[in-house]
Amino acid sequence: MPPEVLYRYNIFPAHNPEEKDLAFRCNLITENDDILLDYSAGHITDREASFLIDTLNKSLGSREIRFYLGKSYRNLMVY
């Protein structure tokens, strides 16, 4: 992933990318019954997003998969 993309997501201090890394945008959304209600999780705050990203790392993260806090609903998953 080009470094300039990581700069946009403001995760460089948290993640030093390697050539083998695959990065995916990890948007937080609001849905109900499989229907997208809001693309930005109700304009979630950074603090609320941090809690969710921490929870994702605890439940789904591994040595190979990590979630990184970005800004509001815009976050990153690196595999």
Mean pLDDT of 17-38: 90
| pLDDT over 60 at 6, yes or no | no
> What is the reported pLDDT for 18?
76
φ and ψ at residue 11, rounded to 5 degrees: -115, 5
> Which of 30, 35, 23, 34 is closest to 75 using CA atoms?
23
Over the chain, what is the mean pLDDT? 85
In whole angstroms, give the CA distance from residue 66 to residue 31: 23
For position 34, what pLDDT does the model report? 96
Q: What percentage of the chain exceeds 90 in pLDDT?
A: 58
CA 13, CA 17: separation in Å to the nearest integer? Answer: 10
Give the full edge-to-edge strand order of the sheet including 74-78.
23-27, 74-78, 66-71
Question: What is the helix (H) or strand (E) element at residue 77, kind and residue range?
Answer: strand 74-78
Residue ranges in the chain assigned as alpha helix (H): 3-9, 46-60
